[in-house]
A = this chain, B = another copy of it.
């Protein structure tokens, strides 16, 4: 009986995720599901991304919208709202991940016709968010050097699901125990197709990520799925 109920919950989620995906594709919005541990730098990355876009010329600007999940507080949304009008916060209470229905409600509050990319900043957690399709085109995994080089090996499900991985806080490498070779070896072993983008969001060094966003947006997501 328990398994049946869990099956139904996931099946229902998948149905709503498919609706989200259709809505977002029809609006021409590329959607990313950003998954990282607590304090890995998800919001700082998005702050830097929005700041860069604000400084871009009209021709090169990507119009971003953000849906941000957290147990409590609107701190992340407040930080992002300084740079972007289209920010929706979802507070999950004790919920350890966003689900497709929460994202469906968030999408309804955004003006999709004015967006190129929607980034869904998931709840800070490397585990459960992986299991819930939100309707995104790509899952983006975010690790940071201060978490240690063993995180890919310990999170094989995220590795298998992610299309791209960011390695944040690359500027702190001199101060922490982190073997880049071990990290890359594990990534290659678990997902040979995943690109790894080194960034230092706090230092505003996010060039590889901005480039990836532009390339990704230039190819219609429906052909990439």
Question: Which A positions have Cβ atoms within 8 angstroms of B?
Answer: 1-2, 5, 9, 37-40, 70-73, 75, 94-96, 123-128, 130-131, 143-144, 146-148, 150-151, 153-157, 169, 172, 175-177, 202
Instruction: Give which listed residue, B39, B72, B95, B127, contacts A148 with CB less than 8 A.
Output: B39
Pairwise interchain contact B1-A127, C-beta atoms closer than 8 A: no
Pairwise interchain contact A154-B37, C-beta atoms closer than 8 A: no
A75: chain B residues at CB < 8 Å are 150, 153-154
Pairwise interchain contact B144-A39, C-beta atoms closer than 8 A: yes
Q: How far is the CA of A123 from the CA of B175 in the complex (A)?
A: 25
Question: Within the complex, what minimum Cβ distance (angstroms) separates A128 from chain B?
Answer: 5
Q: Given A37-B37, A144-B146, output 19 extra A-B contacts at Cβ < 8 Å.
A: A1-B5, A2-B5, A5-B5, A37-B38, A38-B151, A38-B155, A39-B40, A39-B148, A39-B151, A71-B157, A72-B153, A75-B154, A96-B125, A96-B128, A124-B126, A125-B126, A128-B128, A146-B169, A172-B175
What are the 3 A-B residue pairs with the smallest beta carbon separation, nearest first?
Answer: A39-B147, A146-B146, A96-B127
A177: chain B residues at CB < 8 Å are 202
A124: chain B residues at CB < 8 Å are 37, 126, 154
Question: Within the complex, what minimum Cβ distance (angstroms) separates A212 from chain B?
Answer: 23
Instruction: Return 8 A-B CB contacts under 8 Å, by A number.
Output: A37-B124, A39-B146, A39-B147, A71-B127, A71-B157, A172-B176, A175-B175, A176-B202
Q: How far is the CA of A207 from the CA of B70 in the complex (A)?
A: 33
A157: chain B residues at CB < 8 Å are 71, 94
Question: Within the complex, what minimum Cβ distance (angstroms) separates A107 from chain B?
Answer: 24
Instruction: Give which listed residue, B37, B95, B131, B175, contacts A39 with CB less than 8 A.
Output: B37
A156: chain B residues at CB < 8 Å are 71-72
